[in-house]
Structures are given as structure tokens and as C-alpha cells.
């Protein structure tokens, strides 16, 4: 079983969609998603600079649109039925929701635009940030975060927790890290997936209530606890709550293993989740689709799984 995964914020780089737009159908799709989101995704995916696409209000719609564009290109080469399931990391859950048939592509980018603006507003209210804590004993790391009133925002893989909260507390964490751990500041606008994002939940909940929702047509896992979700509305509810609660990607990968995963394909802007898979899904073949040149490797993996 091959699982398709969609990355979260931070994977985007300037111009990363340029090679995709040589294909007229991909350009048409991106223009359609630009209209649905109210964000010029063509410009941001091709000519905008790093600071512009780091802006939460731009980055999140851009990442979801990129995942949908990549998947569309893949499904022009292989059947959707060759995919055993889908999941997304953080904002990538909206990409996964569209790919699983829970919401339409247009509604996915419309919802992510609401999510991005609300999270950007929440981040602007209080100076906060995020840092990756690499290594160390998990219990000791969590205890140290609690001492500093920091929150574990992402459980990405064993030995990697993302801490979030007040900027001064993150600085103290970097100066006095847990035993055998190192702290790496992340370029984020605020403490995502923590209580600091509480004000972003209700705007997204209201927007989610207004869209048409279907139950997933392919297997779908949630970041809430890594479990498989069979109700489209339940998945959307969890996605809304997850704005202010931790991303449990390590648990999601554990569920992949329990389901008998035989391969993983990461949609553009790819790389981060394949990197985590090397540690959390050891021995499982993985393909990162960064450019159209990577599509054939993904096709080969899928065809090898179904041969």
C-alpha cells in the first residue's frame, strides 16, 4: 500500500512551482485555485521572494495548491485507485481532505485562506515562535518545556519535538537545553498548534461549516492522534481543532506501519516528510515529488506495488 502525503508550512522555496507551469493544464489549475483563494498563487509560486512566501497568509494557500497540482499531474499518469491512502502534515491536511474527496479542491484552498489569515492574526497579537528540539529524552524534554511554559507543537518523529511559545522562553531553552538535546530556531511567524492560536479556531470552524463535506473515498489519517478517520465531517472538525493543538505526525507514521504501508510519496513542495520517513518508517521506499522530473519515480513506485 502506497500512501500519498502532503507537507506543511515551511517547505516552500522561491520559484518552486515554475517548472510545473510549463504544462498548460497545471497553469490552468493554479489560476483556478488562485480565484478560489483570492491569492495570486501563480505569482507567489514563480516570482515572489522568500520573505513574501514565508508570510503565513501566502504560504498556506500556496502549499495546499502545490499539493493539489502535483497530485493532479500524478493522476494523469496513474489511477487514483493505485493510492492506498492519504494524510497531510498540519496545513497539508487540507490537501489530504481534497484528495480523499472530503471537500472540493476549490473549498480546500478557500478554507486554507481563512485558516492562514486567522493564524496570521493570532500570531501578530503576541510575539511567539517555534524551535525544533533534536535529541534528548522525550520525558525530560517535555518537562523542560513545561518549566518554561512552552508547548510541544509537533511530535514529528522519535527524538524530534517542536517547541512553541514566548520568544524569551525559547531563547532560554536554546541557552539551557535538556540533556543531550540541541535547539534549532524555526522561521515561523508564531506559536502554531498551541493555545496562542485559539482565536483562529472559530473563524475556520465557521468556514468549514459552510462547505459541502463527503466521507473519504480513500483511506485518510488525522494528525490529531494518527488514527484513520472514516467520517468526512469528523475529519474536518479535527482539522479545525488542530490549529490550536499539537501535530501528532509520529503517531500518524505509526499508523501507516500498522496499516501495512509499502511506500510513501510526498507531494510538492516535498522533502520534509520523506526526511522524517527515513527515521520513522525505516526501510519503506519513499519518493519526494519536487519537480515534474520526479513524477516518473513516483509512477514506478506505484506500478511496482501493484505489479
Catalytic positions, please?
90, 193
Cα separation of 99 and 3, whole Å? 12
C-alpha cell at 295: 513524477
> Is residue 103 a contact partner of residue 213, using CB atoms and an 8 Å limit?
yes
* Helix ranges (DSSP H) in 126-164: 138-147
Strands 151-157 and 160-166 come out as antiparallel
Cα(236)–Cα(220) distance, integer angstroms: 11
- Cβ contacts of 123 within 8 Å, gap of 6 or more: 56, 189, 190, 191, 192, 196, 197
CA-nearest of 9, 106, 8, 4 to 55 is: 9
CA-to-CA distance for 112 and 3, rounded, in angstroms? Answer: 22
Coil/strand/helix, residue 162: strand
Amino acid at each position: 500500500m502506497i500512501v500519498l502525503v502532503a507537507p506543511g508550512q515551511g517547505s516552500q522555496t522561491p520559484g518552486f512551482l515554475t517548472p510545473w507551469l510549463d504544462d498548460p493544464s497545471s497553469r490552468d489549475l493554479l489560476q483556478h485555485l488562485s480565484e478560489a483563494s483570492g491569492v495570486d498563487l501563480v505569482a507567489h509560486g514563480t516570482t515572489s521572494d522568500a520573505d513574501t512566501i514565508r508570510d503565513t497568509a501566502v504560504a498556506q494557500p500556496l502549499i495546499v495548491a502545490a499539493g493539489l497540482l502535483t497530485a493532479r499531474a500524478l493522476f494523469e499518469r496513474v489511477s487514483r485507485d493505485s493510492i492506498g491512502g492519504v494524510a497531510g502534515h498540519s496545513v497539508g491536511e487540507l490537501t489530504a481532505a481534497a484528495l480523499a474527496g472530503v471537500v472540493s479542491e476549490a473549498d480546500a484552498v478557500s478554507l486554507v485562506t481563512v485558516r492562514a489569515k486567522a493564524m496570521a492574526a493570532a500570531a501578530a497579537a503576541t510575539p511567539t515562535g517555534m524551535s525544533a528540539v533534536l535529541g534528548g529524552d522525550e520525558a525530560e524534554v517535555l518537562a523542560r518545556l513545561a518549566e518554561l511554559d512552552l508547548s510541544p507543537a509537533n511530535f514529528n518523529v522519535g527524538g524530534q519535538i517542536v517547541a512553541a511559545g514566548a520568544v524569551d522562553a525559547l531563547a532560554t531553552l536554546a541557552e539551557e537545553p535538556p540533556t543531550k538535546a540541541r535547539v534549532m530556531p524555526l522561521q515561523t511567524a508564531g506559536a502554531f498548534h498551541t493555545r496562542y492560536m485559539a482565536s483562529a479556531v472559530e473563524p475556520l470552524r465557521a468556514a468549514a461549516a459552510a462547505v459541502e463535506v463527503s466521507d473519504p473515498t480513500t483511506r485518510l489519517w488525522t494528525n490529531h492522534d494518527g488514527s484513520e478517520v472514516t467520517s468526512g465531517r469528523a475529519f474536518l472538525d479535527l482539522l479545525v481543532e488542530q490549529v490550536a493543538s499539537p501535530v501528532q505526525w509520529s503517531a500518524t507514521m505509526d499508523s501507516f506501519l500498522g496499516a501495512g504501508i509499502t511506500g510513501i510519496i510526498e507531494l510538492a513542495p516535498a522533502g520534509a516528510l520523506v526526511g522524517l520517513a527515513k527515521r520513522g518508517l525505516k526501510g519503506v521506499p519513499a519518493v519526494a515529488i519536487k519537480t515534474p522530473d520526479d513524477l516518473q519515480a513516483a509512477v514506478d513506485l506505484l506500478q511496482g506495488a501493484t505489479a
